[in-house]
Amino acid sequence: MTRFVIGADVALHLTQFKAAVPTEHQLLAPTLIRSQVLAELYARVLRGELDRKTAERQLDHLRALRLRLLGDHVLQGLAWKIADQLGWPDTFIAEYIALTQLQADAFVCMDPELAHAVGGIVTVSSIDDLMASARRPRPAALR
């Protein structure tokens, strides 16, 4: 089982396309992802990019994902150190990086600048890596 930390951008991508993550992968995120996704969907509705029913369906899809949410004091302490080390103005993204260091195999990132910034401290994976199944298809003769 591969454990991936996903950010709000990846969660929104998964919900927009109603993507099903392969069952052999485990998804993790800091608890703040719920508020970040909610706020972004609300903003998209206000801007007229989505209607409310679509936003609610996307929230339902997110809730249906097997997403383990974490946010204890150890994670928060490490997030503080990471944000300080990288000179970030807040700790929001640092929580994702801290969670990756503490509990996951990789951080799934869609932002190339962020991937570059954190690539030296965590393994960074793409959405394609997340969606790929670790299982190999059986040869046709064995089916």
Angle between helices 33-46 and 8-16 (to 10 degrees): 60
Cα-Cα-Cα-Cα dihedral of 68, 121, 107, 59, to 10°? Answer: 60
Percent share of the chain, pLDDT over 70: 93
Domain edges within the chain = 2-135
Q: Decide which of 37 and 136 is more confident.
A: 37
Class of domain 2-135: alpha beta
Segment 19-44 mean pLDDT:
96
74-83 per-position pLDDT tens digit: 999 999 999 9
> Looking at residue 133, what is its pLDDT?
79
Residue 69, strand partner residues? 29
115 phi, psi to nearest 5 deg: -55, -40
pLDDT at residue 88 is higher than 80 = yes
